[in-house]
């Protein structure tokens, strides 16, 4: 079968280790299901996989090693089982003794077929396209958990999203408005700020601009360049939620502000299977818009990763498989 996989690591030029070619059909396993992938979506996690896991392992995370290669990329997918069920795949395997992620311990979704534990399959509502469904399991699930579990925003409160047009920021805008919050964003350009406003954001500011008033929570996907601003923007008892950093991990924290304002800094990663089920229900029942920058064939994945690396995607990039 055709797949996109990591052939070797290159921390500085991750796309040099990206290969597209034939891989063996995944073998069936007891209580695992083989899924024909219809659509899959790209995440920064895939770029991290191509860079190699050394940096993440130093920070306590899991990461690929040479011994894991070749490894099929991809966390997110929607597809069809051999008995004809349309499903969305939850990317984390949480069985005792088998813990791991697709594209980590197990081969991922950028392939014509993938095998996953039976309980990782969620029925795809017919009102969601395969392309939309494939966007939800990582970036959107992360945004869902940030807003609804981690941030503890009071009803009708104000949330600042650092970033305007990326995958997690756009999910935060859509989900935040749907929850009744006032949602402000910062963006790097007029174009990205306009993108967020069109999606429903209440206001859009230049990066690191002074805000009209302090906010209840800040969702910071950017990292080092915005963390000082994020902390300054928070009300007393406010929360900074951090799912990652597109632009640098080594941020400066004003510790005096942290304790005098009694702020909280909360890290977050992905979400649970139950949260993904709830997110899928929400997106289907409310017909929430899920911005997709492009739908591509597998052969164009390199250009889409390049756009992601350069911060040029507006929402998600989705691979559509033939068949
Ligand atoms: N912990 C988890 O489970 C999890 C899950 C998903 C993602 N993440 C992490 O969350 C972060 C965001 O993911 P994403 O998919 O939303 O990324 P993305 O689509 O590339 O979006 C990046 C966002 O960051 C903003 N940004 C500001 N300064 C930037 C700079 N110097 N370079 C690049 N972007 C900059 C961009 O603003 P503009 O809109 O103005 O361009 C954009 O909105 C990544 O670090 C990713 O690894 C973590």
- Dump pLDDT digits (tens) for 15-51: 999 999 999 999 989 999 999 999 999 999 999 999 9
**Which domains, ranges and CATH numbers included, belong to the chain?**
2-135+290-320 (3.90.180.10), 139-267 (3.40.50.720)
Distance 90 CA to ligand 1 centre (A): 21
The two structure tokens encoding residue 105: 């311990």
The two structure tokens encoding residue 123: 């029925």
Query: What is the pLDDT, as a whole number, of residue 62?
Result: 72
Q: Which residue's entry shows tokens 């005792």?
A: 96
CA angle 237, 238, 243 (to 5 degrees): 135
* Atom of ligand 1 at shortest range from CA of 189: 40
> Could you give the dihedral angle defined by the CA atoms of residues 227, 233, 238 and 243, in that order, rounded to the nearest 10 degrees?
-30
Distance 307 CA to ligand 1 centre (A): 12
Distance 167 CA to ligand 1 centre (A): 7
Please give the Cα distance from 296 to 41 (Å, whole number). 10
Q: Ligand 1: which of 61, 102, 136, 163 to mutate, most ligand atoms within 8 Å of CB?
A: 163
- Chain mean pLDDT for the chain: 96
CA angle 123, 80, 99 (to 5 degrees): 70
Model pLDDT for residues 93-129, shown as the tens digit of each residue = 999 999 999 999 999 999 999 999 999 999 999 999 9
Burial of 181 (0-12, 13-18, 19+ CB in 10 A): buried
CB of 169 within 6 A of ligand 1: the answer is yes
- Positions in the chain short of pLDDT 50: none
């Amino acid at each position: 079968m055709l797949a996109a996989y990591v052939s070797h690591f290159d921390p500085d030029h991750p796309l040099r280790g990206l290969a597209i070619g034939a891989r063996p059909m995944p073998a069936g396993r007891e209580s695992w299901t083989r899924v024909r992938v219809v659509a899959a979506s790209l995440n920064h996690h895939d770029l991290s996989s191509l860079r190699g896991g050394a940096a993440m392992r130093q920070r306590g995370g899991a990461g690929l090693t040479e011994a894991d290669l070749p490894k099929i990329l991809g966390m997110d997918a929607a597809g069809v089982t051999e008995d004809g069920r349309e499903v969305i795949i939850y990317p984390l395997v949480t069985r005792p003794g088998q813990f791991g992620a697709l594209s980590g311990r197990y081969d991922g979704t950028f392939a014509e077929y993938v095998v996953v534990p039976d309980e990782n399959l969620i029925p795809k509502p017919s009102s969601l396209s395969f392309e939309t469904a494939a966007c939800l399991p990582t970036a959107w699930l992360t945004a869902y958990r940030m807003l609804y579990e981690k941030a503890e925003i009071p009803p009708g409160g104000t949330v600042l999203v650092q970033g305007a047009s990326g995958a997690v920021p756009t999910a935060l805008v859509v989900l935040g408005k749907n929850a009744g919050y006032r949602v402000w964003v910062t963006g790097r350009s007029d174009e990205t700020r306009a993108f967020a406003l069109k999606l429903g954001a209440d206001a859009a500011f230049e990066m690191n601009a002074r805000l009209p008033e302090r906010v209840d929570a800040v969702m910071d996907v950017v990292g080092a360049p915005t963390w000082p601003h994020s902390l300054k923007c928070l009300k007393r008892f406010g929360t900074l939620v951090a799912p990652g950093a597109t632009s640098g991990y080594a941020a400066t924290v004003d510790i005096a502000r942290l304790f005098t304002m009694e702020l909280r800094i909360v890290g977050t990663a992905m979400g649970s299977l139950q949260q993904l089920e709830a997110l899928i229900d929400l997106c289907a029942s409310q017909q929430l818009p899920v911005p997709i920058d492009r739908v591509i064939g597998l052969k164009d994945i390199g250009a889409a990763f390049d756009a992601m690396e350069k911060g040029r995607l507006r929402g998600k990039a989705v691979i559509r498989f033939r068949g």
